[in-house]
Amino acid sequence: MEQKFKTDGLGLSNRDAMNKDRISDLPDALLLQILSSLPTENAIATSVLSKRWRSLWTMLPKLKFDCDFNPVLDDNNIDPHMFSENVYRSLSLHKAPVLESLHLSFEGRTDCSDVGIWIATAFARCVRKLVLDSFYQEDQTVTLPSVLFSYNDTLEILKLKCAIDLEFPSRVCLKSLRKLYLYQVHFKDEDSVSNLLCGCPSLEDLVVHRYSNADVATFTIAAPSLQRLTIEDLRQEGGYGNGGYVINAPALKYLNINGFIDIESCLIDKALELVEAKISNVSDIANENILESLTSAKRLILHLSPLEIKVPTGKSFDQLVCLELLTHEREWWNLLSIMLDSSPKLQILKLTDVSNFATQLPFFFVSTTPLSGNLLI
């Protein structure tokens, strides 16, 4: 028996309605949200679906390319030259007025000129966030062309990871850069560090993960606008030497230091606006003034032993209201005693012992009045 299909007011039968591509009728803004949830390579692949989809992906505000990802071949060993061509072609076709984010993950053997073309094209698209993640391939690294960083006024966030060499013979100019993340990158010399940081007048947040003395002997951070600083020294995981740090950041509000073990120096200019600091795994530093530089902090988290770092005497932590100590450190009680004596406004004390399961939960003491200097916990 032949099945009959009713028609609606537009002359469409039930069968036509069932076969109609309803997704393509959605507005561009909603379709772009859908494409943004896909890997960029898959989003680009939708261009073959129909004329409606052909150039839709070119308006995506965020792009991410990973040389280990191939949606067609499912092959983890893509030719780097083919990957470079795909990235360049995609960036050339991109039409969004502003590229909010570009994330590139590539091999260290990638040609430096290809990386330079990617960066130059991204800068021409007014990219605001740029992530370059270069992983080691046969110990090869990529050197970023310094000339590309001689002037840019749109980039706000820059993340550089792993097999990347940085050489800045002259000062860069990244006028709008607010956040800079350096994960195990390699600087040619101390001038390169200085020329990068001095060329970022709006820098507020800096994260540095490095091996002491792996590239430069003294890593100097001089940034007048810097408000948040995190340094993780990975030497404890298999180091390259001693090295040292100099920190000059007068506007600093948050400081996190982890892993300064057996290094030559760590000198910090007093941060008068400091609100919070966390100091962990710090010991055996020949020349340092870490605790002495933190007297303006309101909150301190100290995971260290008074036997392994200088504890200032006669100094007042007159703004400190919250203190956390790790109690499995050697002679932690001496550090507690000194801190109590020198902290007239202290209100919250937290003692944490991670070495004993029975006392693994933190102990809190809260007072509505300043703690007494001779109080025993």
Q: Do the strands 287-288 and 299-303 form a parallel or antiparallel pair, or are they unpaired?
A: unpaired
pLDDT of residue 20: 55
Alpha helices in 39-146 (DSSP H): 40-45, 80-93, 112-124
**Res 269 pLDDT > 60:** yes
**Res 75 pLDDT > 90:** no
The answer to whether residues 92 and 52 touch, using CB atoms and an 8 Å cutoff, is no
**Res 317 pLDDT > 60:** yes
> Is residue 373 packed enough to be buried (19+ CB in 10 Å), middle (13-18) or exposed (0-12)?
middle
Structure tokens at 43: 């989003």
pLDDT of residue 41: 77
Q: Do the strands 363-366 and 348-352 form a parallel or antiparallel pair, or are they unpaired?
A: antiparallel
- Give 33's pLDDT tier (boundaries 50, 70, 90): confident
Q: Is the dihedral of CA 280, 284, 259, 360 positive or negative?
A: negative
Structure tokens at 129: 């966030």
Separation between Cα atoms, residue 275 and residue 76, nearest integer Å: 46
pLDDT of residue 368: 42
Q: Is the dihedral of CA 190, 191, 195, 198 positive or negative?
A: positive
CA distances from 242 to 187, 224, 265, 266, 308 (A): 16, 27, 9, 11, 16
pLDDT of residue 153: 95
Domain extent listing, the chain: 35-203
Separation between Cα atoms, residue 249 and residue 53, nearest integer Å: 50
Separation between Cα atoms, residue 348 and residue 292, nearest integer Å: 21
**Res 262 pLDDT > 90:** no
- Give 194's pLDDT tier (boundaries 50, 70, 90): very high
Q: Tell me which DSSP letter residue 272 carries.
A: T
Q: What is the pLDDT of residues 290-306, one digit of tens each?
A: 999 999 999 999 999 98
Higher pLDDT residue, 275 or 311?
Answer: 275
> Is residue 86 packed enough to be buried (19+ CB in 10 Å), middle (13-18) or exposed (0-12)?
middle
In sequence order, which residues have a C-beta less than 8 Å from that of residue 67 and are 6 or more positions away? 78, 80, 83, 105, 106, 107, 110
Q: Which residue is listed with tokens 């036509």?
A: 16
> Is residue 50 packed enough to be buried (19+ CB in 10 Å), middle (13-18) or exposed (0-12)?
exposed
pLDDT of residue 356: 53
pLDDT of residue 236: 60
Average pLDDT on 351-370 reads: 53
Higher pLDDT residue, 73 or 242?
Answer: 242
**Res 84 pLDDT > 70:** yes
Q: Which residue is listed with tokens 């030719």?
A: 79
- Give 59's pLDDT tier (boundaries 50, 70, 90): confident
What order of strands is seen across the sheet that includes strand 164-166? 142-143, 164-166, 186-187
pLDDT of residue 74: 47
pLDDT of residue 45: 75
pLDDT of residue 22: 65
> Comparing 145-159, 186-200, 301-315, 319-333, which segment has the lowest mean pLDDT?
301-315
pLDDT of residue 72: 47
Separation between Cα atoms, residue 185 and residue 338, nearest integer Å: 39
> Comparing 25-39, 224-238, 343-357, which segment has the lowest mean pLDDT?
25-39
**Res 118 pLDDT > 80:** yes
**Res 231 pLDDT > 60:** yes
